[in-house]
Structure 1
């Protein structure tokens, strides 16, 4: 169990956290226009693999057993190395254009030097240790671009995206438990989950076709998905019949792509020149929000004794994002 925690939880999580900013940074640099369409196409492939993976894993379990299946999944994960090596700077492939011979060349002279507007430092009584700590903190703040947290727009975007993403991932993790608690059989549970992920795949194709024809803001797509996901989750809790759950699950699966696809593009549109640090800081905040939601969900479940109250908590996170 300790080995599983060290490898799957820590190492895999750390690798995932390092890969995602690099992948989305490369994506942001290579696609100046129609980013939503390109991201939707990539997400279609991801959804198709997610749907087929459980079937392939079951087939592998029957053929090779547990250890053989783990070995195959590990070998499959080795594809991350050539995938990461393919993330080369876009400047390597940009067409080089010669400079205009008539372009003006500016020489360094006293006339075009900017005037130093910084005030002359005054003597202070702080100790040398305090100055070193202050200089070290300023270096860290500059390296990590922590000054972004001083911008209300950045804090608003990061908290909204973190709440919505955490709500989406937490809901899909407790979704089978919700169906089991409601008394549905294994076959009915399989049908509902299949409907959910099939609708998700269809939605990703729809978003790809929509964004390839129409230029839509990523933030508007995200807000649409978050708001209507909150509405239909409330409707999900209200009904209790099987076919009602199937229909609402299909709608929720369809709305999921409106959250998953434009999420990194929201950050890219808001902070195009500082995307790397902005998205990295978003992942840090999202991790903190996800860690805080686990105990909060457990507290609500133990206090109320009802799993649907946990759904209301996750719905509230979507509503806060939309507001």
Structure 2
């Protein structure tokens, strides 16, 4: 017998609607630990590249050119691999991409143990490891973005602080390995340390495994009474097509073909006690080329943001690279230079601790923080040129070290704040653009040094890079303020379904 339903005979009830959100903790802490372990295993040792490989290459009469070539190629491959990892992260699980990168990093390290020429180092270190870093880093960063919505700033600060603290100790550790075990023994031990990137890759669980359930809203429901049918609960908030689809279940006549098609594509599904809005699913996987997502490149804000953080990064990296040479020409001893650099890196650690503390107490946009640090860098760099007095230089360089923490730490967070919903594409394309900016800045500095033969001119150019950031970002912020354009809303990226 067909059930008859009296839609007028209903009883109001309350139904709770839940939503799934990033854990902001829980397994997310494992992701933070994995990201920190990855940086400590790969990027921190790279800072000691010259110390580790310089003497070995010097014995073969090829130190300066080989170190420069390998380090530059490594940086180039690492940055430009973003153009490959971008579409791969759209179609494959992040853990798969991470494992590919980890395998390349580890195999490159193993191959480095047996190098006999600089060309071998170009292949094992510059190409294989550079490509591996370019795969694993965006996968790990994207996972970090997926797992946190509210605590990104604080936890990134913690990770960066740990990294900065161990960076200070790494040169001493490297010298110890070389003195005790020789070149190949030291490389073998570093290869064992680098193998921990495999644990980083394995830990990149899909965020959907760890989403937590929170109450979104409570809605009034209506229970339909029928003598021959069980009670059915229909949310009264479902109007229009959604409500009609659910009410079709009580219709005496079968739905027509058009209705069947609509019912086959519901806009609301129930998973356990969750109510989740969905769209029509496309069962076909996208191909490699169709997965290329360049939509962020249509946004002028993206260029201003990415070029700005890239210039800030290059201004800091190149400054600390030429600082020893600059001080040496001013008759600073090796001990004096070592003290200046120690003050710089120790202050960097203090700066990152301060950043972490600030983020735990006050919520501030990372881009504003980066802009403020850039303004301070301009002022301190100008003050640096006023005097060559030893203690003046130590104080100024220490101040720049503290500001370094406020330049480096927010870079990824600036991108996540603006493009959380497209973080994978935004970050991988940032890697590519940063590589282009690094190449251009490097060429400008080389020409300036060749023409002027002055380190001071190079330092002034690096200071000017911060001025460019301040001017361009300030113009954008003022324009948006005048036009009443609201800041981009943060949307939590729940990542892919992998």
User: Given the alignment of the two structures, is residue 288 of structure 1 paired with residue 436 of structure 2, yes or no?
Assistant: yes
2:277 maps to what in 1? none
Q: How does 1:1-323 map to 2 (within 5 A)?
A: 1-95=118-212, 102-103=234-235, 104=238, 105=242, 107=245, 109=259, 143-323=291-471
Cα displacement (A) at 1:23: 1.8
* SS state at 2:212 partner: coil
* Larger-gyration structure (1/2): 2
Deviations 1:10-44 (A, max 9, x none): 22222222222112211111111131111100001
- Give the TM-score, by structure 1 length: 0.86
Name the structure with the higher strand share: 2
- Give the TM-score, by structure 2 length: 0.57
Of the structure 1 ranges 89-98 and 199-208, higher mean CA displacement relative to structure 2 is found in 89-98
* SS state at 1:273 partner: helix
Deviations 1:73-107 (A, max 9, x none): 12111111111211111211123589995444564
Cα displacement (A) at 1:277: 0.2
Name the structure with the higher helix share: 1
* SS state at 1:33 partner: coil
Distance 1:178 1:216 in 2: 36
1:125 maps to what in 2? none
C-alpha spacing 1:179/1:102, structure 2 compared with 1 (3 Å): farther
Contact 1:141 1:147 in 2 (8 A): no
C-alpha spacing 1:302/1:217, structure 2 compared with 1 (3 Å): same
Cα displacement (A) at 1:142: 5.5
Distance 2:311 2:354 in 1: 25
Deviations 1:39-73 (A, max 9, x none): 10000110111111111111111111111111111
Cα displacement (A) at 1:154: 1.0
Distance 2:290 2:393 in 1: 50
Of the structure 1 ranges 12-21 and 95-104, higher mean CA displacement relative to structure 2 is found in 95-104
Number of aligned residue pairs: give it.
298
Contact 1:34 1:215 in 2 (8 A): no
Deviations 1:216-260 (A, max 9, x none): 111011111222112212221232111111000100000001111
Of the structure 1 ranges 165-174 and 250-259, higher mean CA displacement relative to structure 2 is found in 165-174
* SS state at 2:420 partner: coil
Distance 2:419 2:209 in 1: 23
C-alpha spacing 1:112/1:238, structure 2 compared with 1 (3 Å): farther
Distance 2:350 2:192 in 1: 29
Of the structure 1 ranges 228-237 and 73-82, higher mean CA displacement relative to structure 2 is found in 228-237
C-alpha spacing 1:142/1:310, structure 2 compared with 1 (3 Å): farther
